[in-house]
Amino acid sequence: MNKVLVLAELNGNDLDNGVFELLSLLNNLNVSNDEITVCVLGDNLQDKDGILKQIPCSKILAHSNIDTNNLNPNILSKLASSMIEDLQPNKILISKTNLGQDLAPRLAFKFGWGLVNDCLNIEKNENNDWTGIRPIFGGNFMSKINIKTPTEIYCVRPKVFDSLTDKTISPEIEYKQFTNDLETKTKVLKRINEQSEGIKLEDADIVIAGGRGLGGPEPFETLDEIAGLLNAAVGASRAVCDAGWMDHSYQIGLTGKNISPNLYLTVAISGASQHMAGCGNSKHIVSIDKNVEANIFNDAEFGAIGDWKNILPGFLDTLKDLVKE
Amino acid sequence: MKILVCVKEVIDPEVPVSSIDIDSNGWKFVPKQGVSTVLNGFDENAIEAALQLKESIGDVEISVLSLGKDFSMDVIKKPLSMGCQNLFLVKDDILETSDSFVIVNVLYETINKIGPFDLILCGRHASDWDNAQVPIGLAEKLNLDCVTLAKSIECNNNNITIERVISGGIEVLKSELPVLITVSNEYGEPRYPNLRGIMTAGKIQPQFFSLEDLGISANDINNINEITDIYIPEKNSNCEFIKGEDEYDIGRNLALKLRDKNLI
């Protein structure tokens, strides 16, 4: 029997979707509800049991420490540690969010436990031992990892698993005051949300993105025009952002945004695995590129080979006609 | 002020997969002949951040630390050519197949010997194993606060202000020295070494340590993660290429196809 601790994250009133995905992964592994405790991190949790009750699990442990300075990882690693000491789990699952990607290694090194970071899946062998699968070398290779310590930590990439929706189960919530030692010299002063015109990249049903092959910032005006017609968001590869053609807030990939739209349309993106790490969960990938050997066509469903300077006008003109209809 | 930057020499992440062999004995990457190594790109961002702090504060000494089985001197001395002052290298065969836990312990013991430092900077992750655990683990081990993914760092006496990249925007934090910060590519392009930098670097000898020098015995080196397989993920290559009379026509047919499939 496992004793699994799942970390959930409540940012203001916004429950991060990761917990639903982690519960879905545990469901795939046939872990039963009585083996799972969801530990919630956030501010003023006592007032938010209506939100916490949405989590499809049977046990929730929430801290009643009021202020965590906007989910400051330096504070929350102390709180999460106390929760772990309280529960003594043998498995810990964390979603790789802004917070989770800091928290998981902190906890691993604090307790001396093994961690599979950026985990894409967990396999179970005949002895019920778990093996974590994670991408390495920018996703060019996959590795399988067995953790040799009594407690195992998995930090799971978001948007890989569908959310678990089980309306039949309702959690019991226990509030507990954990450590009072939440002092840290690092303080979050403020968060500045990026001003995106139109639809947010992460939420868009259709994303159109451009790569280094566009040669400069100007062609993004055409991508903007197409995006306007399709109600899509515009993204870019890292090369484009590092070159300053587009702001880094547009960057898709391992070190940028992780998107999962229904349609991902790429223009002049070769599809290095570091890029695919941020868009591999798109439902349909469609690509325009001059190089038929480009990596992107391993993932694309439809491809258009040629110079984007000639292909895009044909695409755009036809799109305008289709929209008129 | 003393700054330490931790760096790693990696196989050039731009090379195709076919240039790298996997050695299942210890699970390591083996570059084929002629495939070059480079300084991990994010570590260059961290070096750049250290150099900009030196330029704005003045009295700063930047040391660079790396571990490995072997070093290519051209690669590992690049931080010196860029303007750093000292280079410390820990060399041992076993470090080639060590996991993050071993690496953190070795870094920790080295820092105990050559430190203390007011500020430790690292790249956000290394482009070979993509773990992003060593800097955070090192902070935990040194009992330091840690701020990850910095895009700007300002230091005023003991106070430090960091802008960090989060999904959906940026977060502004303040902290106090000593602290460990990881630097992201959003920090901006690292500088190229100039001729004077290269000349200066030529005169600086790296200081080598063995594990023995650090008081670490082979018995202390135990990976806690066991790799059981490394493989190239399967790709489906069933891409349908759109035909047309010319490229304009291909674009037109692509739009019609997407409409036909109800994708737009």
Q: How many CB pairs under 8 A join A and B?
A: 250
Cis before B178 (ω within 30): yes
Domain boundaries, chain B: 2-220, 238-264
Sheet of strand B86-91: strand arrangement: A187-193, B169-176, B159-166, B146-156, B179-183, B119-123, B2-6, B61-68, B86-91, B207-209
B196 touching A (Cβ < 8 Å): no
* Rounded Cα gap, residues B103 and B184, in angstroms: 21
Chain A residue with minimal CA distance to B230? A143
CA distance B204 to chain A (A): 32
What's the Cα-to-Cα distance from B255 to each of A293, B38, B143, B200, rounded to whole Å?
22, 42, 57, 58
Q: How many CB atoms lie within 10 A of CB A9?
A: 22
CA dihedral A285, A288, A291, A293 (to 10 degrees): 10
Q: Which of A110, A123, A289, A315 to probe the B interface (max B CBs under 10 A)?
A: A315
Main-chain phi, psi angles of B234, to 5 degrees: -70, 145
Is A199 near chain B, with CB under 8 Å? Answer: no
A88 touches chain B (CB under 8 A): no
Contact A202 B248 (CB under 8 A): no
Q: Mutation test of the interface with chain A: which of B14, B30, B130, choosing the one with the most A Cβ atoms within 10 A?
A: B130
Residue closest to B123 by CA, chosen among B185, B169, B60: B185
Q: Strand A284-289 relative to strand A302-305: parallel, antiparallel, unpaired?
A: parallel
Q: What is the pLDDT along chain B (264 residues), one digit of tens a residue?
A: 999 999 999 999 988 888 999 999 889 899 999 899 999 999 999 999 999 999 999 999 999 999 999 999 999 999 999 999 999 999 999 999 999 999 999 999 999 999 999 999 999 999 999 999 999 999 999 999 999 999 999 999 999 999 999 988 899 999 999 999 999 999 999 999 999 999 999 999 999 999 999 999 988 889 999 999 999 988 767 899 999 999 999 999 999 999 999 999
The kind and range of the H/E element at A131 are strand A130-136
Inter-chain touch B251–A316, beta carbons under 8 Å: yes
Beta strands in A168-289 (DSSP E): 172-176, 187-193, 206-210, 233-236, 263-267, 284-289
DSSP string, A80-97: HHHHHHHH--SEEEEE-S
pLDDT at A196: 67
A243 and chain B in contact, CB less than 8 A: no
Residue keyed to tokens 């290519």: B72
Q: Does A32 touch chain B (CB under 8 A)?
A: no
Confidence of residue A172 (pLDDT cuts 50, 70, 90): very high
Cβ of A311 within 8 Å of Cβ of B230? The answer is no
Domains of chain A: 4-176 (3.40.50.620), 201-324 (3.40.50.1220)
Does the beta carbon of A215 lie under 8 angstroms from any beta carbon of chain B?
Answer: no
Residue A46 backbone class (left: φ over 0; alpha: ψ -120 to 50; beta: rest): alpha
Beta carbons within 10 angstroms of residue A302's beta carbon: 21
- Chain B closest CA to A306's CA: distance in Å? 6
Bridge partners for A132 per DSSP: A122, A145
Q: Is B68 exposed, middle or buried (0-12, 13-18, 19+ CB in 10 A)?
A: buried
Separation between Cα atoms, residue A35 and residue A32, nearest integer Å? 6
Query: Which residues 40-79 of B have a C-beta within 8 angstroms of A?
Result: none
CB within 8 Å of chain B, chain A residues 124-183? 131, 134-149
Which distant-in-sequence residues (6+ apart) come within 8 Å of A324 by Cβ?
Answer: none
Minimum Cα–Cα distance from A196: chain B residue: B168
* Residues 210-229 of chain B whose Cβ lies under 8 A from any Cβ of chain A: 223-229
- As a residue count, chain A comes to 325
* pLDDT digit string, tens, across residues A86-99: 999 999 999 999 99
From B88's Cα to the closest Cα of chain A, the distance in A is 24
A242 touches chain B (CB under 8 A): yes
- C-alpha dihedral over A21, A24, A25, A31, to 10 degrees? 140
Confirm if A41 and A155 have CB atoms less than 8 A apart. no
**CATH class name, domain B2-220:** alpha beta
Asked if the C-beta of B17 comes within 8 angstroms of chain A's C-beta atoms, the answer is: yes
The neighbour count for residue A169, using CB atoms within 10 Å, is 12
Closest CA to A177 of A64, A43, A49: A64
CA distances from A289 to A266, A267, A308, B13 (A): 8, 6, 7, 22
pLDDT at A322 over 70: yes
